[in-house]
Amino acid sequence: MLLSLLIFLPIVLALAVTAWPQKTTLRYLALAGSIIEFAVSLVVLLQFDKTSPALQLVEKHMWVERFGISYFLGIDGISMMLVMLTTFLTPVIILASWKSIDERIKGFHASLFVLQTAMLGSFLAMDAILFYTFWELSLIPMYFMVGIWGGARRIYATVKFFIYTMSGSVLMLLAIIFMMRLTPEVTGGSISASILDFYKLQIPFIAGDFFTPQTLLFFAFALAFAIKVPMFPLHTWLPDAHVEAPTPGSVILAGVMLKMGTYGFIRWVIPLFPEAAEHFSWLFIGAGVVGIIYGALVAMIQPDVKKLIAYSSVSHMGYIIIGLFTMNSYGLNGGLYQMLNHGISTGALFLLIGMIYERTHSREIAKYGGLASALPFFTIAFIIVTMSSIAVPMTNGFIGEFLILLGSYQYSPWVAVFSVTGVVLGAAYMLWMVKRVFFGPKGEIVLAAEKDSHHALYDLSPREVLVLVPLVVLIFWMGLFPNQFMNYSKTSVDYLIQNKNQYMLLGAGER
């Protein structure tokens, strides 16, 4: 029941904030509810056995018996930290949106909680149809968050986001149905949508023949996840969505939603289709390398600071794809760790950009300059998060990227050589942006603030400090003591690597 409580408590909170009569206390209700949800996830963490690769806290009940669809939940090391990331970011987002969201407050918080349910359900569902249900559910609240509370081009951005992600998901649904029709071979005659039964299937694969069943199924799943990541060249919906989304929408999109795609690769694609994944790994690693370099180069020329971070996200997600498709211990562990790092550092960058936008009502880099003199503590926070984003040692970003580069070197030294250029380019565009925004000659915004008290700039408020402190603490904690986090996932990842050609996710109680 614990995993069900974790998934559906946000739905209860969504109903509660919708029915809450007092607007003045609604935010406090939402914040308190999100903290309770985080506390529930901590209980799950405390009960989790990190030495076992088996599914834990399993809940399984038949849902649609005729088609073998079950309500099947479970958690292992691959999903544990992503669950914690989701529940951790939600109260941070609610606190950060205290002033930036001032219209339709009930609808905003209800959408956020429904989205949290969808994301947690995607990470915990072990039935393919149940997983697909949560996967598609996540589109609806995100559609409204961008479409209602977004910027001037919000309709264009949200429709583009919806069409891209929905089109990829249709092929995945067809692949799931096809695999369900194969399951009687391993269940003794009954249809099943359980991931455990899917793993038992021996789907034919012939290298060089694109139309073998495993290859077609592999690409049907992979396309849906590649769009969600998003991988180059399927990334074009992301910058528009980030720029037009309100700050909380950008944070949850970068922090968790993109990780649903990379999680899909490690949970579904690689273990279900091991021969195809290994055979076509060059394609995904190549796309990852191109995405790293392309994203960095495009970020470098952006005049809008939020769009710069959006393209940096495309670049950083390329590292995760490379790590996953090296299919070795360094790469997979690094890729999974980098999912967490990206959620913390890029989420923090979007929060900081939202804070400065509330003060200046502009995201044009050319209008900034000299902000450090007016906002010293804000500048310190931004530089710390920037150091994390460019993978400076002792920050969380360094650990993930270093492991991925080690894994890519094992796969091919040339992959590591090209990948490391992204580190150099990332440092170039991020530090150049910091220089133009915070240092150098005073820009239009700072000069206006000095001349007119109505345009005065103010440093971090106590609420904003409360938002940023947990993120900064995690940046250094994860950078200095990575094993305290990686120990939760390492056993499951190593088990996947050792058994990837005959992978069988262990059920509850099995070892």
Give pLDDT tens digits for 400-427: 999 999 999 999 999 999 999 999 999 9
**Is pLDDT above 90 for 21?**
no
**pLDDT given at position 22:** 80
Taking the C-alpha atoms of residue 41 and residue 80, their distance in angstroms, rounded to an integer, is: 9
* 502 pLDDT tier (thresholds 50, 70, 90): low
**Is pLDDT above 70 for 102?**
yes
What is the value of pTM for the model shown?
0.92
* 299 pLDDT tier (thresholds 50, 70, 90): very high
pLDDT (mean) for 123-150: 93
Contacts of 434 (CB under 8 A, 6+ apart): 382, 383, 386
Pairing of strands 69-75, 56-64: antiparallel
Residue 440 CA from chain centroid, whole number = 34
Contacts of 433 (CB under 8 A, 6+ apart): 305, 308, 365
Q: What is the pLDDT of residues 176-234, one digit of tens each?
A: 999 999 999 888 888 999 999 998 888 888 877 788 899 999 999 999 999 999 998 88
Q: How far is CA 20 from CA 7, 23, 24, 107, 114, in A?
A: 21, 7, 10, 11, 16
**pLDDT given at position 510:** 41
Tokens 């090209």 correspond to what residue? 418
Helix (H, G, I), strand (E, B) or coil at 343: helix
- Asked if residue 232 lies in contact with residue 291, where contact means CB atoms within 8 angstroms, the answer is yes
Tokens 């190549």 correspond to what residue? 286
**pLDDT given at position 151:** 83
Helix (H, G, I), strand (E, B) or coil at 95: helix
Angle at 138 between CA 336 and CA 397, to 5 degrees: 25
Look at 367 and 449; give whichever has higher pLDDT. 367
Look at 450 and 170; give whichever has higher pLDDT. 170
**What is the secondary structure of 248-315 as a DSSP string?**
HHHHHIIIIIHHHHHHHIIIIIHHHSHHHHHHTHHHHHHHHHHHHHHHHHHHHT-SBHHHHHHHHHHH
Task: Round to the nearest angstrom and report the end-to-end CA distance of the chain.
Answer: 22
**pLDDT given at position 56:** 92
Question: Sign of the C-alpha dihedral, residues 39, 40, 45, 46?
Answer: positive
Question: How many CA atoms lie less than 13 Å away from 358 in the CB half-sphere?
Answer: 21
**pLDDT given at position 347:** 93
**pLDDT given at position 448:** 77
Alpha helices in 97-127 (DSSP H): 105-124
**pLDDT given at position 511:** 35
Question: How many CA atoms lie less than 13 Å away from 502 in the CB half-sphere?
Answer: 0
**pLDDT given at position 506:** 53
Angle at 239 between CA 234 and CA 244, to 5 degrees: 135
Question: Sign of the C-alpha dihedral, residues 388, 389, 392, 397?
Answer: positive
Q: How far is CA 298 from CA 250, 251, 308, 320, 351, in A?
A: 19, 21, 8, 19, 22
**What is the secondary structure of 436-501 as a DSSP string?**
HHHSSS--HHHHHHHH-GGG------HHHHHHHHHHHHHHHHHHH-THHHHHHHHHHHHHHHHTGG
pLDDT (mean) for 315-325: 94
**pLDDT given at position 504:** 55
Q: List the beta bridge partners of residue 73.
A: 59, 125
Q: List the beta bridge partners of residue 364.
A: 304
For the chain, the C-alpha Rg in angstroms (whole number) is 22
Look at 499 and 163; give whichever has higher pLDDT. 163
Taking the C-alpha atoms of residue 468 and residue 464, their distance in angstroms, rounded to an integer, is: 6
- Token pair belonging to 211: 């139309």
Q: Please name the amino acid found at residue 99.
A: K
Cβ atoms within 10 Å of 106's Cβ, excluding its own: 15
Using a pLDDT cut of 90, give the percent of the chain over it: 66
* 369 pLDDT tier (thresholds 50, 70, 90): confident
Q: State the chain's maximal CA–CA distance in angstroms.
A: 80
Q: What is the pLDDT of residues 220-234, one digit of tens each?
A: 999 999 999 999 888
Helix (H, G, I), strand (E, B) or coil at 72: strand
Taking the C-alpha atoms of residue 141 and residue 144, their distance in angstroms, rounded to an integer, is: 5
Contacts of 391 (CB under 8 A, 6+ apart): 397, 398, 400, 401, 402, 423, 426
